[in-house]
Amino acid sequence: MPNAYISGTGFYVPPKVVTNDLLSKEYGIDTTHEWIVQRTGIEERRFAEEGVGTSDLAVPAARQAIERAGLTPRDLDMIIFATLSPDHAFPGSGVYLQQKLGLCDGDSPKFVPALDVRNQCSGFLYSLTVASSMVQAGTAKHVLVVGAETHSAALDLSAKGRTVASLFGDGAGAVVVSATDEDRGIRGTYLGADGRFADVLSQRVWDIKKRPFVKLDENGVGQVPPDDLWARMDGKQVFRNAVERMIGVLMQACADQGLTRDDIDLFFFHQANLRINQYIAQQIGITEDKLVSNIQRYGNTTAATIPILLAEAEQSGRLKRGMKVAMVAFGSGFTWGAAIVDW
């Protein structure tokens, strides 16, 4: 059975930088730079321009990962696309990415399977699990895994929405998971979920139980109540459960692999809140030099945070061949996951 390893990484963030001060001055959110930094550690984020969708952000990240893997798009055997902000309700963004990578073009198109994963902040690790399983089973040799988000189109940029809107940014990260006979790669992935908290962090634009699922006015125009249009979050519940679950799944992963925290060279935590990650690191005893962060510059890009972290760390030389790394995420659902990788 072949091992599955990450052969290439890539990322892309839109050029528009939105600082905390701009959130207040340009968008009218009742907040300050100090308020946001104190609670989240975020100093700025990126917003895509109108007309740019989630699959558009994914294209340069995917191309970079494919190139760094020494491949072309036609070498791919599968695309897995993790996002909570797809281009449309359906179809999934994976098929749009397939088309934009040119796989459907020419006399010999390659119609590789495309799968979307809707597990929010844990989406990348769930997708990585599927990709590594496909490779280890011999079903695929090269799988493109993308996490991409366009949050800026669906944020409540008002005084009422500041707690959620100040957290999120746009961006895309990608990895190629490939087969190898070498003794390296993805050693194990560990996933979990607790549906009792499904409504604690949610966005319910429609309710499929209703007929029609979106209320219509007298002119037949859909009407979505503001409380359902925007994401809602109980921050205290999220913080408490994130700490518990991220520590728990990380400890489970290390124990299963016969590792201690000292055996891990770098930790890649989902970038939801710098204060959460710092608290977890303190509780476990992870030194600051081993904790990789970029939330200060990009905010929370949900499914894209970990692949962006990996790409930046590798391209800067911080993440090197032979390192042992741990990835951990927690998100809406609640869902969570961890992975141990020999880079």
CATH 1.25.60.10 given to domain 3-183: no
Query: Other C-beta atoms within 10 Å of 321: how many?
Result: 8
Question: Whole-prediction pTM value?
Answer: 0.95
Is-same-fold flag (3-183; 186-198+231-342)?
yes
Six token digits for residue 114: 């495309």
Active site residues: 121, 270, 300
CA distance 124 to 145: 8
Tokens 């990788």, residue?
341
CA distance 68 to 55: 20
pLDDT along the chain (343 residues), means of 10: 96 96 80 88 95 97 98 98 94 96 93 96 97 97 98 82 85 98 96 92 80 82 78 82 94 96 96 93 94 96 98 97 97 95 97
**DSSP state at residue 154:** G
Q: What pLDDT is attached to residue 203? A: 79
Residues in the chain: 343
Q: Where are the domains of the chain?
A: 3-183, 186-198+231-342
> CA 179 from chain center: how many Å?
23
Q: pLDDT tens for residues 230-278?
A: 777 787 888 899 999 999 999 999 999 999 999 999 999 999 999 999 9
Q: What pLDDT is attached to residue 227? A: 74
Q: What pLDDT is attached to residue 219? A: 82
Mean pLDDT of the chain, nearest integer: 93
Q: Name the pairing type of β-strands 335-342 and 324-331.
A: antiparallel
Q: Which of 133, 81, 78 is nearest to 110 (CA)?
A: 78
> What residues are paired with 258 via a beta bridge?
none
Six token digits for residue 251: 């400890």
Q: pLDDT tens for residues 162-193?
A: 778 889 999 999 999 999 999 999 999 999 99
For 277-286, b where at least 16 C-beta lie within 10 A, e where not — what string? Answer: bbbbbeeeeb
CATH 2.30.30.830 given to domain 186-198+231-342: no
